[in-house]
Amino acid sequence: MKARRNKKQLPSFRKLLKTSKVKLENKLKNKQFKQQSTLKKYRKEQRKLRQAVRDAVSKKPIPLEDPKHKRRPDKRIEREEEEEEEALPLDMMDEDDLQLMKDLGQRASFLTRDLSSSEPVHTKKRKHERIIDKYEKIPRTLQTEPEKELIHLLPIKDKSGIIPQTREKPVIDSNNEEEDQEEEMVLEEEIIEDPIQELTIEEHLTERKKKLQEKKLHIAALASAILSDPESNIKKLKELRSMLMEQDPDVAVTVRKLVIVSLMELFKDITPSYKIRPLTEAEKSTKIRKETQKLREFEEGLVSQYKFYLENLEQMVKDWKQRKLKKSNVVSLKAYKGLAEVAVKCLCELLVALPHFNFHNNIIVLIVPLMNDVSKLISEMCCEAVKKLFKQDKLGQASLGVIKVISGFVKGRNYDVRPEMLKTFLCLRIKEVEVKKDTEDINKPKKFMTFKEKRKNLSRMQRKWKKAEEKLERELREAEASESTEKKLKLHTETLNIVFVTYFRILKKAQRSPLLPAVLEGLAKFAHLINVEFFDDLLVVLHTLIESGDLSYEESLHCVQTAFHILSGQGDVLNIDPMKFYTHLYKTLFKLHAGATNEGVEIVLQCLDVMLTKRRKQVSQQRAFAFIKRLCTLALHVLPNSSIGILATTRILMHTFPKTDLLLDNESQGSGVFLPELDEPEYCNAQNTALWELHALQRHYHPIVQKFASHLIAGAPSEGSEALKPELSRRSAAELFEAYSMAAMTFNPPVQSSAPKMKGKNLQGDSFLNEDLNQLVKRHCNEVVTQLPLDFTKCLKTSLQL
């Protein structure tokens, strides 16, 4: 029974709770209404006070009664005024009194008349005074004393009301104005504090060092706190980022640079290895543990601060671009470039270090236009960052994003960009696509058997084992967390499509553009991945470019290299005769520049490797003879490193085509005479000549060239005294060209100077210099002729006689 009573009493208790809540709400509402009413009264009083002050400051006369807003008086008041007029006739008043009565309205102001006159007209409890009483209250002015002007001060509010405050204005004589001004100046100087003493240069520098040291310590303390516990101290990132707005002009630029670099390193360290996505509404509403909530807060704070940091870097770059229009007292115009360079460097580091994190595409959009910047330093910095990204990007997702932006930028600028932008394509890791195509079936993801297939082909026990095996394979695949081959192949294919579209657009629309060498070099590298259907059209375009004559020598070499890269891959299947490209290279070999800054030799060596060595089955003996003879002639008038590379290529060709050892013999093979001026390698009869150039190269001043010449004269043996050392024989021609480079203007190895030896003659004085130059040349040529084959001695002797 007691339990039932308690159950019955529960609803009444709930009602009491509800009524008490309503009462509390009503009390709160009443309190709020009272506060609002008091606020309104206070605001009204403040308005009245401000209005009173404005009226007191203004010196415009305020009439006692405005005829426009005159209210109809009561009949009782009119009667009293009539009685007063009858009681005080005009004859009894003096002229002065009448004049004062007329000027009464003009002299009375808001503060000099009675406060009752300031009450509004619509008040019912208005106090009416007689005109004589008002007249009596006005003080009489004497002509002997000058009127004193009053300065109206702020009134005082009391319980009784508003009490006006005034002060007499001192009368200024015209004679003593200058003295008063001097006194005012003295007073002002007394009031102003003593000026700050100017610091010397040394004191200023010491003060700056002290400030800078304090800022450095503060930055270090914040950074170490964030690194020690990022989740708890994520708010200190905001404090550190606020130092980017440093306003002290002495250390503003240096502090901002330090903060930029510190934040960049912090983000590289504390950023997770996954992309943080925004939470959905369902995830926000669900209850989670404290640890999960703490992690979410950390991720949200990290993403927001990273976003603001990137915006700050972008603004610094924009400030540098608009330095002519923007002026700042804290950062000078000269300092904008330094800040922008540091900001761009940090953006490049984040582009390479955090390709998986949020806002990576925003960084790409910032970096790509800076690759074409006027400043060479910033342009190279951005290009190097993009190259690093391409080299380390295994999957291809980040590379695809950069390629899309670069392609759109090049097209938007109408192909008027730096060639370095397109040269970054050479660092793409697209060689893997060729391997993946060959092993596509092997690396294809395994498909599991369906239930029907299992039931049809397997027994009950086998189905059970198969189910456990498939479960284990799925778990292993998830644990590996490696991207599938199909996804990687798809990304690489899409990237290559964009690259080839960019290349073909330039070949079609901008053939005279400085981008052409970069395009041809890129086509040469990725030619094996081009679809076979485009080969014929592409070879026609390359041949027309060569025949046009608008290309430079290096550009024409790139065209030849691209054509043979196309034919060396999938082009082997096609029946295409590249004889015109062989003819062009053979014809233009002697146009090669012999200077130290020449880069064409390396391209020539690569072309020869692709055209002759790798296509040995398609190359005839006559063509091999012609190229070997021309290469040995070319080795006479180029620098030592170029001679070494050319002789190394000749050695490889002599091993590839063994019958070319006929060029080391004096006897001629077949009919005809060698025609060195003919540009057709097939018909110049190179088999009827000899490599007499090697005898001249044996006396070359560079020791490595001498070794190669002696090695080739001996027939390029692999063993014996004339064989090359492994350090020379195992290197390719391009590697030897780079190893013995003359870029540093030094010989490698050092060359010994040989003094001329003359028997029976004293070389004192100028006896050697006075020798006839013609006799010296003839004597040197005779020495060379004695070492040449017999068929060349006649030609050289006749030329010397002429």
Per-residue 3-state assignment (H helix, E strand, C coil) for 133-147: HHHHHCCCCCCCCCC
Query: What pLDDT does 226 receive?
Result: 92
- Average pLDDT on 331-358 reads 89
CA distances from 743 to 597, 603, 642, 751, 767 (A): 7, 17, 12, 16, 37
Q: Which residues pair with 166 in a beta bridge?
A: 152
How far does the chain reach from its first CA to its final CA, in angstroms?
A: 147
Res. 490 pLDDT band, cuts 50 70 90: confident
- Average pLDDT on 11-38 reads 73
Express each pLDDT in 575-608 by its tens digit. Answer: 677 888 899 999 999 888 877 667 788 889 989 9
**Amino acid (1-letter code) at residue 205:** L
Res. 112 pLDDT band, cuts 50 70 90: very low
Q: Please name the residue that has the structure tokens 């009503």.
A: 26
Q: Where is 72: in which H helix or E strand? A: none
- Average pLDDT on 175-186 reads 55
Query: What pLDDT does 85 receive?
Result: 45
Q: Please, what is the average pLDDT of the chain?
A: 76
Query: What pLDDT does 22 receive?
Result: 79
Higher pLDDT, 416 or 567: 416
Res. 571 pLDDT band, cuts 50 70 90: low
The yes-or-no verdict on residue 443 having pLDDT over 70 is no
Lowest mean pLDDT: which of 45-59, 687-701, 709-723? 45-59
Higher pLDDT, 56 or 397: 397
Q: Print the SS3 string covering 62-123.
A: CCCCCCCCCCCCCHHHHHHHHHHHHHCCHHHCCHHHHHHHHCHHHHCCCCCCCHHHHCCCCC
The yes-or-no verdict on residue 139 having pLDDT over 70 is no
Query: What pLDDT does 794 receive?
Result: 42
- Average pLDDT on 464-474 reads 80
pTM, 2 dp? 0.60
Lowest mean pLDDT: which of 95-99, 193-197, 319-323, 634-638? 193-197
> What's the rounded Cα separation, in Å, for the pair 266 and 799?
77
> What's the rounded Cα separation, in Å, for the pair 45 and 37?
12
Percent of the chain with pLDDT over 70: 70
> What's the rounded Cα separation, in Å, for the pair 428 and 397?
12
> What's the rounded Cα separation, in Å, for the pair 415 and 409?
9
Query: What pLDDT does 348 receive?
Result: 95
Residue from 166, 163, 157 nearest 44 by CA: 157
Query: What pLDDT does 8 receive?
Result: 44
Query: What pLDDT does 110 receive?
Result: 38
Query: What's the gap between Cα 591 and its chain centre?
Result: 41
Query: What pLDDT does 406 receive?
Result: 94
Res. 433 pLDDT band, cuts 50 70 90: low
The yes-or-no verdict on residue 574 having pLDDT over 80 is no
Query: What pLDDT does 171 receive?
Result: 58
- Pairing of the two strands 150-157 and 162-168: antiparallel
Res. 475 pLDDT band, cuts 50 70 90: confident
Lowest mean pLDDT: which of 266-275, 349-358, 737-746? 737-746
323's tokens: 């330095």
Query: What pLDDT does 24 receive?
Result: 83
Query: What pLDDT does 370 receive?
Result: 93
> What's the rounded Cα separation, in Å, for the pair 768 and 765?
8
Express each pLDDT in 768-786 by its tens digit. Answer: 333 443 443 344 444 433 3
Instruction: Give the CA radius of gyration of the chain.
Output: 50
Lowest mean pLDDT: which of 129-143, 674-688, 784-798? 784-798
The yes-or-no verdict on residue 303 having pLDDT over 90 is yes
Query: What pLDDT does 144 receive?
Result: 53
> What's the rounded Cα separation, in Å, for the pair 381 and 420?
11
Res. 743 pLDDT band, cuts 50 70 90: confident
Lowest mean pLDDT: which of 523-537, 613-627, 647-661? 523-537
SS3 content of the chain, % helix, strand, coil (to 5): 65, 0, 35
Residue from 598, 682, 665 nearest 634 by CA: 598
Query: What pLDDT does 512 receive?
Result: 79
Lowest mean pLDDT: which of 367-376, 378-387, 536-545, 612-621? 536-545
Res. 135 pLDDT band, cuts 50 70 90: low
768's tokens: 């050697």
- Average pLDDT on 280-288 reads 86
What ranges in 549-620 are assigned the alpha helix state H?
A: 553-568, 579-588, 600-608
Res. 167 pLDDT band, cuts 50 70 90: confident
Q: What are phi and psi of 166, to 5 degrees?
A: -135, 165
Judge whether 367 and 330 are in contact, CB under 8 Å.
Answer: no
- Average pLDDT on 396-411 reads 92
Query: What pLDDT does 661 receive?
Result: 86
Judge whether 226 and 233 are in contact, CB under 8 Å.
Answer: yes
701's tokens: 């001043």
Res. 635 pLDDT band, cuts 50 70 90: very high
Q: What is the DSSP-derived secondary structure letter of residue 304? A: H
Query: What pLDDT does 197 receive?
Result: 59
Residue from 508, 560, 557 nearest 537 by CA: 508
Boundaries of every domain in the chain: 75-168, 217-358, 451-483, 602-753, 770-802
647's tokens: 């002789």
- Average pLDDT on 403-412 reads 93
Res. 180 pLDDT band, cuts 50 70 90: low
Query: What pLDDT does 438 receive?
Result: 40
Residue-wise DSSP of 409-475: HHHHTTT-S-HHHHHGGGG---HHHHHHHHTTTTSSPPPPPPHHHHHHHS-HHHHHHHHHHHHHHHH
Express each pLDDT in 93-109 by its tens digit. Answer: 445 555 655 554 444 44
Query: What pLDDT does 4 receive?
Result: 47
Lowest mean pLDDT: which of 411-425, 609-623, 664-678, 745-759? 745-759
Residue from 610, 626, 636, 558 nearest 734 by CA: 610
> What's the rounded Cα separation, in Å, for the pair 768 and 784?
21
The yes-or-no verdict on residue 242 having pLDDT over 50 is yes
Lowest mean pLDDT: which of 79-93, 140-154, 191-205, 282-296? 79-93
